[in-house]
Structure 1
C-alpha cells in the first residue's frame, strides 16, 4: 500500500479551481489505487512553525557540523518532524493558485520549512547540492487567471518556474504538471479549460 500526500494551498476551497482539479485527480486515484492511503495537508488549516532565529541558527549548525543549544535543538526537532511527515509519502499532488505571479505565501512558508540540509537535501563542496527526495512521482496542479505560454508572458510566470526549480532541488525527477489556465474569461471558455484539466488529471492519476 502506497501513501499519497495531497497538499492544498488555496483558501478558496469549493471556489478554488486548483482544488477542484485536485479533487478530480484524487477521485480517479482512489478508483485506480483502491488500497492506497490518501492524506490531505491543507496549509490553511495547519499552524506552521515560524522559521525563526533559533531554527535558522540550527540549520547552520547542521551545515557546519556543530552542536545545538537547547532552543536550537527544540526548533530543529520541530522542523525534522515536519520533514519526516513530508518524506513519509510515496507520491504527491500539490494544488496551488497563482498569486501576484508567484505562489501563495502559505506554500512558500511550508517549502521554507521542509527544504533543509540533511532532511531533503545535502551539500558537498566538491559536488554541490543533492536532493534527497528521490524516486517519488509528484503532480502539480496550477491555476492561473491568464495564459503564460508566449515568451512575453513566461517572464511573469514565477509560479511554475519556481516550483519546477525547488522540486528539482529536493530531488524530484518525475514531475507532472496540470495547467488550469486562463481562469479569467467567458464562462464557456473557462468551463472548457476546467474540463481539459480534469481529463488530464484523470489520466495522470491512473498512471502513477
Structure 2
C-alpha cells in the first residue's frame, strides 16, 4: 500500500497558499492511488518543544540504558521518524518566513534529524538513512526569489531543505514554488493567482505515482 506523508507548517490555515496547494496535491494523489494511505501531520497542531540538553543526552544514551524519563523525551521524535520511515512519499507545505523555513518546521526537523535513526556516522563518514523516498516541497513566498532575480540570494528555504534532506539520504526532491503571494494582499484575484500553481501541483501529484517518475 503506497503511503503519502502530508505535512503543513503554515499558521494561516484557510488563508494559506501552501496549505491550499498541498491539499490539492493530496486530493489528486488519492485519486490516482485508490489503495493508498495518507498520513496528515499539521505542525501547528503538534506541540514540539525546542531541543534541550536533556533531549540530546537521551539521544546519545544507548537505547537499552535509557530511563523512563529519557524515553518520554524521545517519544514524539520516535513517532515523527516512524512517519517518515513508513511513508513512500512526502508532500510538505512550506511558507517562507523571514527568508527561511517556519519555526515549527525547524522544530520538526530537529526532532527527525537523529543519529542512528535518520543518519549515521559509520566510519566517521555521514550517511543518510532515509532512502528510497520521494519528496515534493510546496513553497509559498511573499516576494519573488527565483534564480537570476534581484532577491534570489535571500532565498534560504530551498537550499536549506535540499541540503538537509540530502544529508538524510533523500535526493529525489522536487520544489514547487508559488512566488509573489504578497499580491493577494493588494487586490490580486486569489483564484487567478492560484490557478497555474494548482495545475502544476496536481499534475505533479499524478506523475509521481507510486514513488516512481
TM-score normalised by the chain length of structure 2: 0.87
Query: Which whole-Å CA distance do the structure 2 matches of 1:109 and 1:159 have between them?
Result: 15
Query: Which whole-Å CA distance do the structure 2 matches of 1:73 and 1:44 have between them?
Result: 24
Change (3 A) 1:184 1:74: closer
Q: Is 1:35 the counterpart of 2:35 in the alignment?
A: yes
Which structure carries more helix by proportion? 2
Q: CA deviation at 1:79?
A: 2.5
Query: Which whole-Å CA distance do the structure 1 matches of 2:55 and 2:199 have between them?
Result: 42
- Deviations along 1:162-197, one digit per CA (max 9) or x if unpaired, are 111111111111111110011122645865542221
Q: CA deviation at 1:154?
A: 2.2
Query: Which whole-Å CA distance do the structure 2 matches of 1:61 and 1:196 have between them?
Result: 49
TM-score normalised by the chain length of structure 1: 0.89
Change (3 A) 1:206 1:42: same
5+ residue gaps, structure 1: none
Q: What's the C-alpha RMSD, in Å, of the aligned pairs?
A: 2.2
Change (3 A) 1:110 1:153: same
Q: CA deviation at 1:31?
A: 1.4
Q: CA deviation at 1:8?
A: 0.4
Query: Which whole-Å CA distance do the structure 2 matches of 1:162 and 1:189 have between them?
Result: 31
For residue 14 of structure 1, give the secondary structure of its aligned residue in structure 2.
helix
Q: CA deviation at 1:47?
A: 1.6
Query: Which whole-Å CA distance do the structure 2 matches of 1:78 and 1:98 have between them?
Result: 25
Q: Is 1:97 the counterpart of 2:95 in the alignment?
A: yes
Q: CA deviation at 1:129?
A: 0.9
Q: CA deviation at 1:3?
A: 1.0
- Deviations along 1:2-38, one digit per CA (max 9) or x if unpaired, are 1111000001111100011111111111111111011
Query: What is aligned with 1:131?
Result: 128
Query: Which whole-Å CA distance do the structure 1 matches of 2:155 and 2:137 have between them?
Result: 15
Query: What is aligned with 2:21?
Result: 21
Question: Which residues in structure 2 correspond to 1:1-208 (within 5 Å)?
Answer: 1-61=1-61, 67-126=65-124, 128-149=125-146, 150=148, 152-185=150-183, 187-188=187-188, 191-208=191-208
Q: Is residue 54–residue 71 contact of structure 1 (8 Å, CA) maintained in 2? A: no
Query: Which whole-Å CA distance do the structure 2 matches of 1:21 and 1:3 have between them?
Result: 19
Q: CA deviation at 1:52?
A: 2.0
- Deviations along 1:116-141, one digit per CA (max 9) or x if unpaired, are 01111111344x21111111111000
Structure 1 residue ranges, 4+ long, deviating more than 6 angstroms after superposition: none
